[in-house]
Chains A and B, each alone.
Chain A
Amino acid sequence: MNQAFLKSLRNIYPAERLLTRDVELLPYESDALTAFSAVPGAVVLPVNEAEIIDTVRLCHKLAVPFVARGSGTSLSGGSLPIPDGLTIGLNRLNRIKRIDPEQRIAVVEPGVINLAITEAAQPYGLYYAPDPSSQSICTIGGNIAFNSGGAHCLKYGMTSNHVLGMRVVLADGAVTQFGSESIEGVGIGPDLIGLFVGSEGLFGIALEITVRLMPQPELYRTVLAAYDDLGRAGDAVSMVVASGLLPGAMEIMDLLAIKAAEASVQAGYPDAEALLIIELEGEAPQVEAEFDQLRGIIDQSGAFETRVANDEEERTRIWKGRKGAFSAVGRLSPDYVVQDGVVPRSRLGEALVEISALKAKYQLDVANVFHAGDGNLHPLILYDGREAGALEKAEALAGEILALCIRLGGSITGEHGIGMEKRDYLPAMFSEEEIEIMQMLRLAIDPNEIANRGKMFPGGEAPALAQHGMHPLERAGVISRE
């Protein structure tokens, strides 16, 4: 690593927060997409905004690439280190600066854990809505970079829809602030929050974030319906949508995913080809009435078994299998890759049939778990990395699924982002001119292309795919690839 750069870093950081020895750097070599790894030149652990700003300005001055990292739960390789670049670990900026329950907002630092906001808001009857499956460990800074979603996006949106204001340092060291404490966010002038959130760390680093909190629903009604055919579960979703109900979540799991969940957390799921979970939420009288309607629809939909959560414990049990499905798949296969494509909801059935055909073609197992309400598929492609060429085969199958999503009029990513993993597929979704405009925008903000260099845009140097198996936290069931 550039010695002049390291020397300047030592002026900002004490030795214990500037990591340069191999043994200290190794833990940072991958994020949750363990198929990629790269050793950074150094890792710094700032404890305040000023240190972050000084670091970014230094990187800009000496054209040293950097990646900002929270807990490293990106599923697209978004927080993969840049070889010989700097990794800026933000976990120590983990203060919730203020909760204002009256205005339903929280002001937080970027290293605050997603779930910690909800925990801090709970005493006031409030919560932070976006709920990626890694919410017990992922940070709000990472959620902002990748516009993270979760199972409950249909009604209240993703991270971008819950950020009201932010102060950021852009990649060239400029510090700027936009948004407000109003629910309108930016309100007047172009929505800079909407532009910054989801920019995958290419624009800069969020230093302070104001998020909106939501009142905890008075009542949840969660129903689990079992089908002997995956298509029927998909049809049930269409029936619910056609009825005019707007559930908070609609999730489908297929046979393989159900088996995995059973093996892992013993959720007590029925033995079925497909399971559909639907959750209604809101004011009790309204939810009860909607639930009557939903029951009628489910009864007509050909479900052979229906279970209703009558209390919070039963609700947690239904969700436990679903939320743990990904890590559970690790019990069935030594390795897997997960995709995140989106298709129009009405074409879910078609997509599943094609994925099934691809399974046969590649002779690989694929477990399907998806956010049916918004057409967001999460096929898990199982393979054994010890077999030569197996990973490449799985990646090829994954690529065909992405192409399928685009062909059906959807997107290559609903919530994981492009990152390292899908950058070669960006041209399948955007024209050359559109990508060029995005690149010009990046250059206007980051002339040296130092912020998260090598991500989102196709081409460039990429570390080779390597076989690393599951993320240790994933194996432990703490996080999952949703």
Chain B
Amino acid sequence: MTVCAPASVDELQTLVRVSERIHAIGKGSKTALHRRVNGAVLADLSALSGIIEYQPSEYTVTVRAGTPVRDLSAALRERGQYLPCDPLLPDSATLGGTVAGNLSGSRRYRYGGVRDFILGAEVVDGMGRAFRVGGKVVKNSAGFDLSKFLVGSLGAYAIMTELTFKVFPDVPRFRSLAVDYTSLEDALAAIYFINQNIFELDALDLIPLAGRWRLLTRLAGFDETLPRRVERFSAAMTHHTSLLHLAELDESATLWDPLADLTGAYLVKVALSPKQVPAFDHAITAAQRRYGVGANVAWVADEDLSQLVDALKACSLTGLCLRGAVQSAIIGAPLENVLAARVKQVLDPLGKLV
């Protein structure tokens, strides 16, 4: 395994041109994505790091792809802003890896995911061409939007070197509430109630606990309005859903980390709709799991992948393996490959990027 750490876009272009197969890596926080391909050069992008341009008044920020999420978050926090797609691994991932994997945390619930906050990018494709896709302003509809295509692309079409995001002002305060239900059905019914109601939650996760299902909810806003909003929300949940128990929880570092309790050897992200949850969950009852973003994403950890793969196939779902020894990070039902293949043919006709 050859590892190279290009110090500039030029060097990365040369590296792509001279390599037969090449695989980009940021900080390597998602081990399953960096499967070792025979003969592939590992392009370590950690030297392509740093904030290039941050204009709080424009709600935009441009960073090099190897920039740690942590560094960007700190810079945004200083100016009272945040990246609302809420990168999943805030302490260990880079922004390039966050985009390549399409990985958002729980706060993605409020305003949207990575695709909703990426505005543009600079990339080096499989031919070693460096070019720009998308734009640098919050609104732009010129040309094909390849910047969104990069989201979830796993570096297989082009290697990102620079990324521009839309950012938002952050809210000053949070209050978190646990609303517990005896069954998954009751908990999902509560999500449906919330979905058709006026409450603007900052996050909404669904967690199986011993003998109960917990809706973990969070409200964000001004200090002076939160007590009233918490009261209204609690009352509505009490009156309109068949809950077991409702309690306010202390905000802690791990409360809103969807992966905090998922310790199994394999860790997988699944995108699914709330109505797919019962059948899927029924097939993976032995696994550690948490449903994020109003039960639109499943985070599953297990010591063995076979049960999960069977469950995914049975439910026609696809998973992305983030941790564990796998041949391919994509598991379960195969992905669409008609349109994606056309893009591959243009950006990486020699199949260098793996």
Do A and B make up one complex? yes
Which A residues fall within an 8 A CB radius of B? Answer: 100-105, 124-126, 146-147, 149, 153-158, 160-161, 168, 170, 174, 176-178, 180-199, 202-203, 215-218, 238, 241-242, 244-246, 282-286, 288-290, 342-346, 371, 374-376, 409-418, 422, 426, 429-431, 433-435, 437-438, 440-442, 444-445, 456
Q: How far is the CA of A102 from the CA of B293 in the complex (A)?
A: 14
Of A185, A345, A410, A414, the contact of B141 (CB 8 Å cutoff): A414
Closest residue of A by beta carbon distance from B228: A285
Q: Which of B64-72, B196-204, B246-254, B301-309 contacts A (4 or more CB under 8 A)?
A: B196-204
| Interface flag for B8 (CB, 8 Å) | no
| Interface flag for B266 (CB, 8 Å) | no
**Do A156 and B111 touch (CB < 8 A)?**
yes
Closest residue of A by beta carbon distance from B168: A246
Q: How far is the CA of A147 from the CA of B145 in the complex (A)?
A: 10
Of B148, B169, B199, B270, the contact of A194 (CB 8 Å cutoff): B148
* 5 A-B pairs with least C-beta separation: A194-B148, A187-B271, A102-B192, A184-B271, A218-B198
Q: Mark B139-179, 1 if CB is under 8 A from A, else 0.
A: 11111111111111110110000000000111000000000
**Separation in Å of the A78 CB from the closest CB of chain B?**
11
Q: How far is the CA of A342 from the CA of B58 in the complex (A)?
A: 12
Q: Which residues of chain A are near B196, meaning CB under 8 Å?
A: 101-102, 104, 124-126, 215
21 A-B residue pairs with Cβ-Cβ distance under 8 Å, sorted by A, are A101-B195, A104-B196, A149-B141, A182-B271, A183-B293, A184-B102, A185-B113, A190-B157, A193-B115, A194-B147, A195-B148, A242-B56, A244-B170, A283-B229, A286-B229, A342-B137, A345-B58, A410-B140, A411-B141, A422-B142, A441-B144
Of A157, A189, A411, A417, the contact of B152 (CB 8 Å cutoff): A189
**Separation in Å of the A169 CB from the closest CB of chain B?**
11
Q: How far is the CA of A256 from the CA of B221 in the complex (A)?
A: 39
Closest residue of B by beta carbon distance from A344: B58
**Do A191 and B152 touch (CB < 8 A)?**
yes
**Do B57 and A345 touch (CB < 8 A)?**
yes
Per the 8 Å Cβ criterion, residues 47-75 of B in contact with A are 55-60
Q: Which residues of chain A are near B346, meaning CB under 8 Å?
A: 437, 440-441, 444
Q: How far is the CA of A185 from the CA of B270 in the complex (A)?
A: 11
Q: Which residues of chain B are near A189, meaning CB under 8 Å?
A: 152-154, 318, 330, 335-336, 340
**Do A188 and B152 touch (CB < 8 A)?**
yes
Closest residue of B by beta carbon distance from A411: B140
With A101-B195, A182-B297 already in contact, the answer to whether A413 and B145 are too (CB < 8 A) is: no
**Do B273 and A195 touch (CB < 8 A)?**
no
**Separation in Å of the B71 CB from the closest CB of chain A?**
22
Q: Which residues of chain A are near B133, meaning CB under 8 Å?
A: 434
Q: How far is the CA of A416 from the CA of B141 in the complex (A)?
A: 7
Q: Which residues of chain B are near A456, meaning CB under 8 Å?
A: 143
Of A155, A170, A218, the contact of B338 (CB 8 Å cutoff): A170
Q: Which residues of chain B are near A194, meaning CB under 8 Å?
A: 115, 145, 147-149, 151
Number of A-B contacts (CB under 8 A): 283
**Do A187 and B55 touch (CB < 8 A)?**
no
Q: How far is the CA of A290 from the CA of B171 in the complex (A)?
A: 11
Of B131, B339, B340, the contact of A433 (CB 8 Å cutoff): B131
Q: How far is the CA of A102 from the CA of B113 in the complex (A)?
A: 20
**Do B141 and A147 touch (CB < 8 A)?**
yes
Q: How far is the CA of A288 from the CA of B146 in the complex (A)?
A: 40
**Do A409 and B195 touch (CB < 8 A)?**
no
| Interface flag for B269 (CB, 8 Å) | yes
With A215-B195, A430-B132 already in contact, the answer to whether A191 and B151 are too (CB < 8 A) is: yes
* Known pairs A182-B271, A244-B80, A375-B138 / 10 extra A-B pairs, C-beta < 8 Å: A102-B192, A161-B112, A184-B102, A191-B148, A194-B149, A194-B151, A244-B170, A284-B198, A413-B140, A418-B142
Q: Which residues of chain A are near B342, meaning CB under 8 Å?
A: 170, 441, 444-445
**Do B273 and A182 touch (CB < 8 A)?**
yes
**Do B137 and A375 touch (CB < 8 A)?**
yes
**Separation in Å of the A458 CB from the closest CB of chain B?**
12
Closest residue of B by beta carbon distance from A105: B273
Q: Which residues of chain B are near A216, meaning CB under 8 Å?
A: 198
**Do A199 and B144 touch (CB < 8 A)?**
yes
Q: How far is the CA of A187 from the CA of B196 in the complex (A)?
A: 23
Closest residue of A by beta carbon distance from B198: A218
Q: Which of A103, A203, A290 lies at the interface centre, i.e. has the most chain B CB atoms within 10 A of its CB?
A: A103
**Do A411 and B340 touch (CB < 8 A)?**
no
**Separation in Å of the A240 CB from the closest CB of chain B?**
10
**Separation in Å of the B78 CB from the closest CB of chain A?**
13
**Separation in Å of the B292 CB from the closest CB of chain A?**
10
With A246-B168, A437-B346 already in contact, the answer to whether A431 and B131 are too (CB < 8 A) is: yes
Q: Mark B281-295, 1 if CB is under 8 A from A, else 0.
A: 000000000000110
**Do A157 and B112 touch (CB < 8 A)?**
yes
**Do A103 and B271 touch (CB < 8 A)?**
no
**Do A103 and B225 touch (CB < 8 A)?**
no
**Do B141 and A104 touch (CB < 8 A)?**
no
| Interface flag for B343 (CB, 8 Å) | yes
**Do B275 and A188 touch (CB < 8 A)?**
no
Closest residue of B by beta carbon distance from A425: B142
| Interface flag for B9 (CB, 8 Å) | no
Q: Which residues of chain A are near B340, meaning CB under 8 Å?
A: 189-190, 192
**Do A346 and B115 touch (CB < 8 A)?**
no
Q: How far is the CA of A414 from the CA of B136 in the complex (A)?
A: 12
**Do A241 and B59 touch (CB < 8 A)?**
yes
Closest residue of B by beta carbon distance from A373: B138
Q: How far is the CA of A246 from the CA of B82 in the complex (A)?
A: 13
Q: How far is the CA of A343 from the CA of B140 in the complex (A)?
A: 10
**Do B225 and A289 touch (CB < 8 A)?**
yes
Q: Which residues of chain B are near A241, meaning CB under 8 Å?
A: 57, 59
**Separation in Å of the B337 CB from the closest CB of chain A?**
9
**Separation in Å of the A74 CB from the closest CB of chain B?**
12
**Do B141 and A184 touch (CB < 8 A)?**
no
Q: Which residues of chain A are near B330, meaning CB under 8 Å?
A: 188-189
Q: Which residues of chain A are near B319, meaning CB under 8 Å?
A: 188
Per the 8 Å Cβ criterion, residues 11-68 of B in contact with A are 55-60
Q: How far is the CA of A263 from the CA of B345 in the complex (A)?
A: 55
Q: Which residues of chain A are near B262, meaning CB under 8 Å?
A: none
Q: How far is the CA of A158 from the CA of B117 in the complex (A)?
A: 11
**Separation in Å of the A71 CB from the closest CB of chain B?**
19
With A283-B198, A289-B222, A344-B137 already in contact, the answer to whether A103 and B275 are too (CB < 8 A) is: yes
**Do A286 and B144 touch (CB < 8 A)?**
no
Q: How far is the CA of A422 from the CA of B143 in the complex (A)?
A: 11
Per the 8 Å Cβ criterion, residues 217-233 of B in contact with A are 221-222, 224-225, 228-229, 232
Q: How far is the CA of A418 from the CA of B143 in the complex (A)?
A: 7
**Do B200 and A282 touch (CB < 8 A)?**
yes
| Interface flag for B274 (CB, 8 Å) | yes
Of A126, A188, A410, A444, the contact of B137 (CB 8 Å cutoff): A410
